[in-house]
């Protein structure tokens, strides 16, 4: 029996348009599970050469696993998406890195040979289920001073990074946010985002039925002047604002992962090849620096350096969190390799779904840049963690 790991590939990925959370958002009266079901159905429609009974697992993440995001979501979504009843499924929770963890979980099974093909993704309906709803944190985590109380408020942890690294100023964070909005607007204008969006039927008691076809959060035309006067809700005279952070959002993602051998046999596309991944813990009070040790660990395991990485997709939970990684590696704030199509500050960050959005955007950039061999997706994670996945471009043309 062979014990050699198999190559794992990213076959395809889709997402719903992301909406604003709350009564005015496009998905306010849409169920969370229906969002991820729409993604799975679209994957199957786009890849008709994949028989449903060839899917070995469905792993779906949600941070708040109650209501329409509960009850072993991976299994219920598999059943409702039309997959055969023989296809198992389960739920994942690693807060913001839920979908990323769903991907790495099934990738491990594929590499081992326990799975050939799997679907992984995530959903978050923050309008229905605000982060932390219904949870009961053990009071000893604060009483015994294992963490500072600010560790439980993500915006406060971002303010703490500004404190720890004074060079990461509000002006730099605002400039990065403006850049994110500009890049997202250009990506939309150039048709880079739309091919991987799943149109979602919506309903509203007030407005009737509709069709969501594009992201709701972006604010094209945002300027430094617009951002300068915004309130700092996490601290008096703070630096974190609604303009330089991702908002509260609703949305879902899903992706097909497979062994490269299985993908080739079925004629499935190979958009990326997984190289290595790592998760790491940091002080919860500065949650946003988590991508730094995660990236260091992943690069070391892969035998690569940061100079080998040609494209970066870093989740923009907060601008300062991305800047802390860029500063660590001496990468310019406006480096064109970073978040080329814009990021979560523009598109939104429906927590557990965002990891696959990063992968979708990196895969499309790989197609456009055959001169780039390696790229990475990275994100900070609540309660003091970071995750990084390194990918290889199957379109790489060598040293031409």
Give the residue numbers annotated as catalytic, written as ranges.
96, 349, 380
Residues 269, 263: Cα–Cα separation, whole Å: 7
Q: Do the Cβ atoms of 52 and 46 come closer than 8 Å?
A: no
Burial label, 211 (beta-carbon count in 10 A; 0-12, 13-18, 19+)? exposed
Residues 134, 324: Cα–Cα separation, whole Å: 32
**Which runs of E-coded beta strand occur in the chain?**
8-15, 19-20, 57-61, 89-92, 117-125, 200-204, 208-212, 249-259, 272-281, 309-314, 374-381, 385-392
Please list, in sequence order, all residues whose beta carbon lies within 8 angstroms of the beta carbon of residue 393, skipping any fewer than 6 positions away. Answer: 272, 273, 310, 366, 369, 370, 372, 373, 374, 375
Adjacent-strand bridge partners of 173 = none
The single-letter DSSP state of residue 6 is P
Task: Mark 135-165 as b/e (b = at least 16 C-beta within 10 Å).
Answer: eeeeeeeeeeeeeeebbbebbbbbbbbbeeb
């Amino acid at each position: 029996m062979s014990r050699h790991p198999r190559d794992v590939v990213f076959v395809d990925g889709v997402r719903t348009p992301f909406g604003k959370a709350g009564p005015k958002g496009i998905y306010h009266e849409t169920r969370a599970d229906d969002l991820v079901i729409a993604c799975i159905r679209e994957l199957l429609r786009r890849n008709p050469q994949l028989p449903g009974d060839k899917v070995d697992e469905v792993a779906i993440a949600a941070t708040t696993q109650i209501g329409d995001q509960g009850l072993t979501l991976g299994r219920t979504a598999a059943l409702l998406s039309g997959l055969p009843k023989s296809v198992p499924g389960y739920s994942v929770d690693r807060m913001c890195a839920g979908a990323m963890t769903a991907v790495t979980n099934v990738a491990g099974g594929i590499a081992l040979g326990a799975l050939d093909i799997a679907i992984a993704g995530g959903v978050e309906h923050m309008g229905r289920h605000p982060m932390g709803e219904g949870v009961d944190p053990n009071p000893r985590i604060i009483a015994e001073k294992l963490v500072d109380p600010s560790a439980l408020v993500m915006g406060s942890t971002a303010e703490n990074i500004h404190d720890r690294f004074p060079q990461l100023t509000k002006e730099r964070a605002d400039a990065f946010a403006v850049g994110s909005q500009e890049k997202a607007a250009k990506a939309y204008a150039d048709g880079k985002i739309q091919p991987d969006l799943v149109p979602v039927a919506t309903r509203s008691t007030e407005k009737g039925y509709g069709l969501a076809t594009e992201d709701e959060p972006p604010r094209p035309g945002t300027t430094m002047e617009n951002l300068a006067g915004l309130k700092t809700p996490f601290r008096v005279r703070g630096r974190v604002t609604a303009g330089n952070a991702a908002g509260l959002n609703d949305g879902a993602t899903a992706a097909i992962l497979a062994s490269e051998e299985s993908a080739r046999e079925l004629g499935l596309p190979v958009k990326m090849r997984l190289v290595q991944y790592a998760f790491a813990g940091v002080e919860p009070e500065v949650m946003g620096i988590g991508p730094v040790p995660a990236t260091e660990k992943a690069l070391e395991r892969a035998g690569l350096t940061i100079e080998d990485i040609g494209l970066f997709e870093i989740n923009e939970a907060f601008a300062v969190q991305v800047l802390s990684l860029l500063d660590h590696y001496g990468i310019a704030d406006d480096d064109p390799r970073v978040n080329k199509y814009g990021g979560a500050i523009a598109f939104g960050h429906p927590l557990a779904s965002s990891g696959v959005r990063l992968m979708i955007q990196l895969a499309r950039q790989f197609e456009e840049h055959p001169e780039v061999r390696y790229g990475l997706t990275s994100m900070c994670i609540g309660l003091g963690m970071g995750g990084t996945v390194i990918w290889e471009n199957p379109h790489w043309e060598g040293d031409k």
